[in-house]
């Protein structure tokens, strides 16, 4: 196995653990902040399409806790995950509770790019999704947020560059 294949295997395994723990957060068994604490480096960057850029593990934990409040019943099942070197790409679903008249779930796709930093942690995550489509799915589902729901900031910073320490150029 080459070094790239070994790293890709480690990255994929770390991501599988991240997804399993994300499931625990969805079920309320751990906080979303605990998920961030367990899987991101101290200087990590997370970029969300609605909430913008969060820098540092502590800020990512605060963002996770704030952004997920009131999304009771939402899940984020994986569709496809690919790892190459220290990069992980994932297609997943924003799945709301319930189903449509045809029995299919109310859901919209999302994609993530993560940089694996070693030691089971990630230094970067960029989530991409069509917020208009998410809004349409919410409307079709008749979903309303639970208590504590927080709106994203009005003018978030959406700079997608990875942290300097990742050794990757923006877009790389």
Residue 172 scores a pLDDT above 60: no
CA distance 45 to 62: 13
Beta partners for residue 47, in sequence order: 53, 126
Alpha-carbon distances of 109 from 32, 71, 92, 127, 129, rounded to whole Å: 20, 16, 6, 11, 7
Dump the DSSP string for 129-171: E-HHHHHHHHHHHT--PPTT--PPPSS-----PPPGGG---TT
Residue 167 scores a pLDDT above 60: no
User: What pLDDT shows up at residue 170?
Assistant: 46
Give the HSE-up count for residue 95: Cα atoms under 13 Å, Cβ half-sphere: 15
User: How sure is the predictor about 4, in pLDDT bands with cuts at 50, 70 and 90?
Assistant: confident
3-class SS of residue 78: strand
CA distance 92 to 76: 6
CATH fold group of domain 3-152: Nuclear Transport Factor 2; Chain: A, (3.10.450)
Give residue-wise pLDDT tens across range 127-165: 999 999 999 999 999 999 999 999 999 999 999 999 986
Give residue-wise pLDDT tens across range 32-91: 999 999 999 999 999 999 999 999 999 999 999 999 999 999 999 999 999 999 999 999
Neighbours of 164 (CB within 10 A): 9
pTM, full prediction: 0.92
Give backbone dihedrals phi and psi of 113, rounded to 5 degrees, phi first.
-115, 125
CA quadruple 112, 104, 25, 139: dihedral sign: positive
């Amino acid at each position: 196995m080459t070094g790239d294949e070994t790293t890709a295997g480690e990255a994929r395994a770390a991501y599988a653990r991240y997804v399993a723990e994300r499931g625990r957060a969805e079920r309320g068994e751990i906080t979303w902040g605990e998920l961030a604490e367990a899987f991101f480096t101290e200087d990590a960057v997370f970029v969300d399409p609605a909430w913008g850029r969060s820098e540092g593990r502590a800020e990512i934990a605060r963002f996770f806790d704030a952004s997920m409040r009131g999304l009771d019943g939402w899940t984020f099942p994986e569709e496809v995950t690919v790892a190459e070197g220290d990069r992980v790409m994932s297609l997943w679903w924003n799945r709301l509770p319930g189903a449509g008249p045809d029995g299919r779930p109310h859901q919209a796709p999302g994609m993530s790019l993560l940089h694996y930093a070693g030691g089971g942690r990630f230094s970067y995550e960029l989530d991409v999704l069509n917020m208009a489509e998410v809004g349409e799915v919410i409307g079709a589902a008749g979903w309303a947020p639970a208590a504590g729901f927080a709106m994203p900031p009005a003018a978030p910073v959406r700079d997608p560059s990875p942290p300097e320490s990742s050794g990757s150029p923006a877009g790389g």
